[in-house]
Structure 1
């Protein structure tokens, strides 16, 4: 294709048009014109503002459909390449900042190549600069407008804050807020409504409307339901702003819309939020078609709303505070007046209290009566006018009026006079205070209450208050005035009444003190006499206390210290620091072997005699400060306070055993007494006496297990064995709880043909750590801990369930029953109930009892076995020939099987002429005579099997026949 150049005149015209362009649209129009003037270009358009598809600008305008938009975005953001072609469409990226702009071209097929773009490259470089500057200038204008709006908004917020903090009243503040909002948008019609969510009320705080000038509710609180379904109600309900004309607003409401007053052309309402909840709303509305509200107005009013609510609350809070301050000020003023009065009263009370304290002090002061009365007069004179003052007291016989103290300007009363009808007697008679002037005195005289002339010289004012102790009047105190200018009021009467009370108490205390002083003098003589008697009594009491203490801490039979004394002594020894590594002490814990036999055979008196002799011999085996104590019954202890080594304790133990080995007389006989001794060395491991006693007791128990008449030193092996027993007891409980016990069955065969006819159920323990345990490993501990019965019943039930699941129904099973079970009267009923629960027929069960169980209570055992036989359960006598029962039991007991003990079976290997052969033959003959089946136990060799079969034994069991194993279904 032939190369083409840009015409100079066209280029000059384009440059002139480009230089004169100011806006992005003018620059874009020049660029598009330049492209369209090129041969081969069918269409050209510049597109910018690509960050928002809704706001895309183009020149000349062109539609951007869904198919073009991804391609335009790809061209604008293509990395590296300045242009992007797609068939006849070419997109040339003009600039990236401040926003991307793209030149869109549609070329003829012959021109869709890079040569066309190369010829545009030079003029487009200049065009890019102009377009970039125009876009930057547009951004600056937009930023300036945003800044100006922000400044206007900030000034509005400052103005709102200033209004809230100003001294203006609320209406002025509200009008100011209206003016501020009007400066931000059209707000000729404006109102503020507040919402109280607690009371569910609303109030139109401010309301201006050109069409409806009267505010709803008259500016007072009204229920929220009064504006229900209005636009304002929707804004307050969900806290969301609403804006638009009537139709748009109805679409925004979630329900019907109620219009109060004239309907507006455009309406804008925003909530005033407080802690995420609407506390009110701002509303502006327009009735003019040409005036409406924009999203910018909505955002602006929403932003201002929260600040207006804060300002209103601040203003309202300030006014409320001022009202509270005024009210509080008035209250404080009133309280101050009351406080001033209270201060006066308090000062008066303090003055009175001081006076009363001084009178109270006089009651115990070492002064005579005359000085006491003079000082009381002085105290009263400080409180009121007391120039004329006297104290009158009733005599002991209450017939005379005594005047121990009197000061009077006119006439002093006599020291005493008989009771008459004067003013003093009137007060004493009524027992109440009297305040009277001349008129009052004359009225009393006329009424006959007092006799004229007995009141002394006429006084202008007379005040008398009785002296009362308890409910008794003992006298009175009186002040009077002969001057008309000096009178006494109610406060003076009150003061003198307080003083009179204190004077009466003081007089009583002084009299009591004098009586007490006299009593003390008498008491001193009695105390001297009593002291001598008490000294003798104290000496006797100390003797009795020492005797009681000895009795409490010593055994009354032997006179030895008891367990409490021994524990205190051991604790004291353990608390004393040991020197070096030497053991501190040793405790020998012992009891007399077979002492119960002595008591049962010779009586308790002989037993007491033995215990006293044992105590004497033990005391001879130790030296001071070692201690011998009797703990209880036949238990004694020796405390060696200092031992060099454990062997020293062994020496003392042997000495004790040698001393007690000598025969001792008791109950007319000579007895050989022996003891078992457990020894614990009290070294640094022990902190308390109980720990030493515990370990010595463990060692004693071990000595008894080893055969008695010996001593055993405690060591860690014994401690571990005790701990092992306790551990195994706990494991047994867990094994029972978790079902770790299971039966193993040893077959019982018919010796004639070897057929299995029955089983013996034997217990096994599947220990989780130690594996399968035989009965010898745990039955003794189970019996001692009391768990054996629960374990047996568990085994009975599992064994019956296992046998019930067997296909064969012609076999029987023997269950080993201990003497503990046979002591319960309900054993048979419980076993039968178990068989019913498991479904096993009673005829297939045989209970095995030993000869030892028969000795416990033969009659009860016989009755139990009879009831079991009646129910179908058989009985077997185990280990026959080794027990203590007589042959008479065989014909009286309901036995089904007799089991020959393995001890006789083992002897059958030695030949046919042994005593065991004779015994077995006799047992078989006896059983045949009583119609009892026989089972031989412990068959371990073929010789034993053959010998028993030859002798006519029907059944047998043993390792040669079969070892115990779980019963397979």
Structure 2
């Protein structure tokens, strides 16, 4: 009995059963059963065929993925090698331009090359100047460590590279071919032959100047085309470095020869210049000195006076003093003893005056018995008197009163001296000379043998001290003492960060007066402390009303810091006026720190703990001790205006300012420059690292209602 195996009406095969006995017979039920089995056999066959197809598909896809993976791995290896190669090439190119000696350059190139290929045996050969020898400025070889520094040219692989001007990859087969062709010759003294050799020429334009080579004495290391490409690039960089160093050496030799010629010519010119200067000095001395005494004359004095007055105008704190001296009764001496004795007398006076001064002070003879002494850089005391000039005047009077033997007579000379100090407002030399002359005649009028200091306050002050004192007492009652505010500006963008409160007196008749017009009287009368507290109160109220985030800076005199209740009184005033402590800065001077330093340190620390900042004012006018900057709780350093005097004229203050700013910043302090008057000073300060400033460039002191934003460039 047989039934077909069918799919979709198509016969794919058959299933058959049969019997060879008559007893067995098949029925229609058996046929139905066999048909059912045939359908299941077809299903089983289809499932087995699908499984085999899937297994073959998976195996094929696995093989494809393995191939892709191998390709990716190879790409990664190639990329990593390319990156190492690129890094090495960049490093070699950089080394070629570095300012290092040749030995260091060659050693570092060798290390870079050794990271990419086997460079245990590495050398650089350069042709000698005559082209007959090969010199080895760098040589490393494991088999021949004692190679001489140079050798004559032969017919080795190195010479073949030099002749062909092309890189050479010497595999064992290639070396054998070259030997057979007679291109190279192996010599026993060269040591063991190379199993693999790679060299590249050093080219300078069209000229070959040497080679670089690596080699191996075993078959384990073989070089390839990539290695040859790398070594060729290395050779180009070595050639560039060699030529650059040779050019530098040639240039240095040329410079040396030029300097020798210049030195010879300079020596000749110096001899000529010295002779010319000697003649000019003699003529200049004759023109600028008194023929009798040898002292500087009036012309030289006026020249130096002009320079001194210019310094005072540029830096108001730098004063000079002029002493105008007249010998008493010289006419009697000259008429009685004769002109020769009179000349000797004047020469002795000149000698004694010179003994009373120091360099660079100047003693000059003006005419007849008139002399002058210029003393530079004199400091003014608290009363505005030049102590150093007064000391010189007293020494001069004492020296001149010593008895003098002249023409058989014993003379007891004397003199009168007038002293005048340079002031910023003075424009003409004659003004200073006139002031000194006025003081001289005043000294004579008071009885001679004395000095007199010129005091222009007598000409400019319209009221006496008692009147001013009475008016100040009324001013306190009428609340005429008021704060005017000078802006403190961030130099970078011109933004106002704070204001310094300055004392002004709104006089009912004379208008607004600055401290110079009344402060001395206030101090002498004991009113100044009450005026300070009145100023503090009004300044705190005005600052509290401004909700702009700026801070207020006030000047605190040494007398306040010595008061035991100063801290509590100041903090109480802040609380009553509504000004936050962190918006207040107090400014103290170096003099304040010197009076009972431990007490002052405690006062400043308590204020700092409460939030009040502390600034060191007028830094540079006192001792300028750096110990203050770290031993006292200071947060701001205010440089005095004297630092800025010649800043825009390329003076010496720039490095000093830069050093002070750097030190302050290192200690965590802000720096405020005082006296910024012109744009050039602002720009120079900003370049030197100073962040803040105040001065007329940003606005003069005024009431808050009159304050305007400073006009600064963006």
TM-score (norm 2): 0.36
Please give the TM-score of this superposition, normalised by the length of structure 1: 0.27
Q: Which has the higher contact order (CA 8 A, sep 6+)?
A: 2
